[in-house]
Amino acid sequence: MERSQHTMTIGKNLILGGSQPILFSGPCAVESLDICLEIGSTVKDLAAKHGFGYVFKASFDKANRTSSDSYRGIGHEKSLQVLQTVGNTLNVPLVTDVHESYQVEAVADVVDVLQIPAFLCRQTDLLIAAGKTGKAIKIKRGQFMAPEDMQYAVDKVRSTGNNNVALTERGFSLGYHNLVVDMRALPIMRQFAPVIFDVTHSVQQPGANKGTSGGQRQMAPYLARAAGAAGIDGFFIETHPNPSVALSDGPNMIPLEDMDDFLAMLKSAWMLGNQFKNYSLS
């Protein structure tokens, strides 16, 4: 199974698919400037310590909540201002989700990577609009999509002349509040573009908490190690100083105090996968 030779350039000097793993990490949603700076500064230092390139992540709008009563954010304009301040203060690139084509231009003025949510990975107009910005485009595999079919999502972005695109694995849905990760999806998708493993959404239990999502963070180390050893290019991890009070996706977040050991573990798994990334059987 032949790996794609494509890479994805993030900001000025990060290369996904290059010689170091890239970490996309932060809180699930923009809660406040203070919490974003606390998380971002801590994770930036830990990423440097363990040899990861770092991209700060936070959603400026949580448009895909289970219930209409769930937290969506502090407002589009305020959230983008927070993201811009975090990027400038910490001197790190930024990634956030876009849900509608009309959002793309304004969000692209602030962030370095546009993330296409899993449920929207087939939305042609959204993918085309994102591609036309020229920014790096990170597409999550839909919970309903065969991994080989993600080639067509990549092709939609590349049809705009933008080859700066990557895929993210986050498990597929069997219903009944459960997701399953098939590790075969990682090398399959790596034929088309660099691949990131979404550690924390892969252990999510969508809608399991009576209108909000649950999670099994205790399973995160097992899936993350397996993905790293499979030869991926980066990791996506949501983290928070106190996941029990996080305003979105707390049950599957990695506590900020555990991120040091967690990243050390992931770097070892990634090094194993990187060592054997070109080994395959016909």
What radius of gyration do the chain's Cα atoms show?
17
Nearest to 14 by CA among 41, 51, 66: 51
Beta-carbon contacts of 261 under 8 Å, excluding residues fewer than 6 positions away, are none
Nearest to 160 by CA among 135, 140, 138: 135
184: left (phi over 0), alpha (psi -120 to 50) or beta: alpha
Quick one: pLDDT band at residue 221, thresholds 50, 70, 90? very high
111-139: burial string, b at 16+ Cβ within 10 Å, e else: bbbbbbbbebbbbeebbbbbbbbebbbbb
What are the pLDDT digits (tens) for 233-263?
A: 999 999 999 999 998 888 899 999 999 999 9
pLDDT at position 69:
67
Please state, in angstroms and rounded to a whole number, the distance separating the CA atoms of residues 166 and 175: 26
Whether the CB-CB separation of 214 and 179 falls below 8 Å is answered with no
Mean pLDDT of the chain, nearest integer: 94
114 DSSP β-pair partners: 96, 137
Nearest to 250 by CA among 241, 258, 259, 260: 241
What are the pLDDT digits (tens) for 191-217?
A: 999 999 999 999 988 765 655 667 789
How would you class 86 by CB atoms within 10 Å of its CB: exposed for 0-12, middle for 13-18, buried for 19 or more? buried
Q: Beta strands 204-205 and 214-215: pairing type? A: antiparallel
Alpha-carbon distances of 6 from 52, 55, 278, rounded to whole Å: 19, 19, 14
pTM over 0.75: yes
pLDDT at position 161:
98
Q: What is the H or E stretch that residue 34 is in?
A: helix 33-50
pLDDT at position 248:
84
pLDDT at position 211:
57
Comparing 282 with 251, the larger pLDDT belongs to: 251
What are the pLDDT digits (tens) for 45-66?
A: 999 999 999 999 999 998 776 6
Q: Is 190 helix (H, G, I), strand (E, B) or coil?
A: coil
